[in-house]
Amino acid sequence: MKEIIDFKYLDKGKDELNNLRHSHGESYEILIVRSGEGSVIVRDRLFGLHSGGVYFINGMDTHCTVPREPDEYYRGKIIVSRRFINELAKTLDCTELIEELFHKNGGIYFIPDEKTAAYIDDEFSAINQALSERNDYAKISVATGIMNILKCGHEKKKTQIVSLDDRISKILEYVNENLKNNITLDDICNYVHTSRYHLCHMFKKTVGMTVFEYILSRRLSIAKKYLTGTDMSLTQIFETTGFSSFSYFSKIFRQYEGVTPSAFRAASRQK
């Protein structure tokens, strides 16, 4: 099914995307943690990664999981076309559900009780079976399963920011409030009252990347949203997202996305 970008009923052990900030383009992700502890970073929000947790992530937002013990990290996930889900929600008159799960507050997660967890696993298993059988009704079964999981998540939704260190949340907030400006390590150290060494060590350990890698990933994420969702000029976009020059913006964008900003916009509009 072209609507399903990625699906894994059970994925275990090290993942090449662990500790790596990434996005999936115009999609939505449902992540189900079967075992493991650590943190999940979505945009500028730091959530706890907990066994049993169910996470709803906007694929356009940069995000990553940072498990404490990668070999013990077991999970399942669905990455589905944003257009497919949005059209379903519009048909079913439940667009507010999608807005609250994927767009507000930088993501949602909840830890279900035993009964709810069993229900979600049944729906997840039904999606897995439908995708493997590929019969005439597969798309209906997949759509039903996904919408049932979303409905369950909306009913049980719980926004929560869990940080291993409150200073990490403050750093994320500071970066996102000052992306237009030239951000230095000294600025951040002064804001959270810590040394450069401690800040860099703490941030890398918790977030899985350096401070400057995080800043770059946020600038690219916002630039992609402007490219796909607005008519802002490329000059306006690079200035708004804090890149020092258009040539640097274009170089970095092509390095990470594989195409120029203008080609990325054109491809998005063709879709």
3-class DSSP state for residue 101? helix
- Residue 161: per-residue pLDDT: 47
- Residue 163: per-residue pLDDT: 47
- Residue 137: per-residue pLDDT: 85
CA distance to 9, 67, 167, per residue, from 213 (Å): 31, 19, 18
CA distance to 10, 108, 160, 239, per residue, from 67 (Å): 16, 18, 18, 35
140 within 8 A of 88, measured Cβ to Cβ: no
3-class DSSP state for residue 22? strand
pLDDT tens track, the chain, 271 positions: 789 999 999 998 777 666 667 788 889 999 999 998 888 888 777 788 888 889 999 988 888 888 888 888 999 999 999 999 999 999 999 999 999 899 876 678 888 888 999 999 999 999 999 999 877 788 899 999 999 999 998 887 764 544 445 778 788 888 888 988 999 999 999 998 889 998 898 888 777 778 998 898 889 888 988 998 899 999 999 999 999 899 999 999 999 889 999 999 998 887 6
271, burial (CB in 10 Å: exposed 0-12, middle 13-18, buried 19+): exposed
CA nearest neighbour of 232 among 270, 265, 254: 265
CA nearest neighbour of 227 among 207, 210, 250, 211: 250
3-class DSSP state for residue 30? strand
What's the rounded Cα separation, in Å, for the pair 217 and 220?
Answer: 5
How many Å separate Cα 205 from the centre of its chain? Answer: 19
32 within 8 A of 71, measured Cβ to Cβ: no
Q: What share of the chain is helix, strand, coil (3-state, %, to 5)?
A: 55, 20, 30
CA angle 178, 181, 183 (to 5 degrees): 80
Q: What is the DSSP letter of 177?
A: H
- Residue 31: per-residue pLDDT: 95
What's the rounded Cα separation, in Å, for the pair 89 and 237?
Answer: 31
32, burial (CB in 10 Å: exposed 0-12, middle 13-18, buried 19+): buried
pTM for this predicted structure: 0.70
Tokens of 246: 């258009």
Tokens of 167: 């200073």
Strands 63-67 and 38-42: antiparallel
